[in-house]
Amino acid sequence: MFTGTSSARRQSDKTARTEDWAASGRLIAAVAHELKNPIQALGNALFLLEKCLRGDALPNRYLKAAQEELGRMKEITASILSPYRESPPRRAVNIPAVLDSILEFYDHKIKFKRIQICRRYSSVSPVEASAGEIRQVFTNLVINALEAVPTGGKVVVHAFSSRDWSSPERDGIRVVIGDNGPGIRPEHRRRLFEPFFTTKTGRGTGLGLWVSQVFMERLGSRVRLRTSARPHRAGTCFSVFLPFDRRTPIQAR
């Protein structure tokens, strides 16, 4: 009896948290939308100011700092608004090509940290999806892996034909991105996909995994996590299933 009551209470708390996140997300998105125009105007003003201050070193230094912070504001508002925009039309997406393009883009970071990249692509057919959204999902996961590993660390990028673990009748592609970093602490795991939650002190917006989960839910799938913080067995693995069919999207959280 008590077990059933506790289970019902936990489910009720989870539902309440989900509703709170949804309401907060809508409010934040509305605020971000209203900020777009003044941010654009500020960017134009800084651009004109830069032209007036050519050759003046000290003001230009402060101007550059202001432009960098403005760029960060644009990035944050774009990330907040992206889950609330209508998903672009789907088309055939070559997953290995997307992954290779992302790794090539971050080649400097990979070489600087001497990271070993292990790519394995097995019998991967194109999937119908939004190319931009898919690229953003995998970019977020790759960046997290590259930042998590120490110098000389290892990142695995594996794509292969698979079935949906929760619905075995669904065929598709599974992409696994793993690293041998320190792993994610137990107290952080439940909050990892919450908006604005981040373990990167002074860096990151805490929106990457949340946005990624929203995009995957549109495809009727989810980003799954396995991680360990145990000494000598630490590491993190994110798994994404991309279905071939067009199932109704999962209700956004």
| Comparison of pLDDT for 47 and 143, the residue scoring more | 143
* Stretch among 68-82, 131-145, 168-182, 202-216 having the lowest mean pLDDT: 68-82
Domain containing 27 equals 2-84
Residue 160 token pair: 């292969």
Residue 129 domain flag = yes
**Same domain flag for 125 and 218:** yes
Number of folded domains that form the chain: 2
Closest CA to 148 of 195, 199, 123, 182: 182
pLDDT of residue 226: 94
Mean pLDDT for 18-27 is: 59
**Same domain flag for 160 and 196:** yes
**Same domain flag for 74 and 132:** no
Residue 17 to residue 187: CA distance in whole angstroms: 17
pTM above 0.75, yes or no: no
Q: What percent of the chain has pLDDT over 90?
A: 30
Mean pLDDT for 78-89 is: 67
Mean pLDDT for 133-146 is: 91
Mean pLDDT for 122-142 is: 87
With cut-offs at 50, 70 and 90, classify the pLDDT of residue 31: low
pLDDT of residue 60: 73
Residue 47 to residue 14: CA distance in whole angstroms: 47
Residue 215 domain flag = yes
pLDDT of residue 208: 81
With cut-offs at 50, 70 and 90, classify the pLDDT of residue 67: confident
Mean pLDDT for 154-160 is: 96
Closest CA to 94 of 208, 176, 178, 173: 173
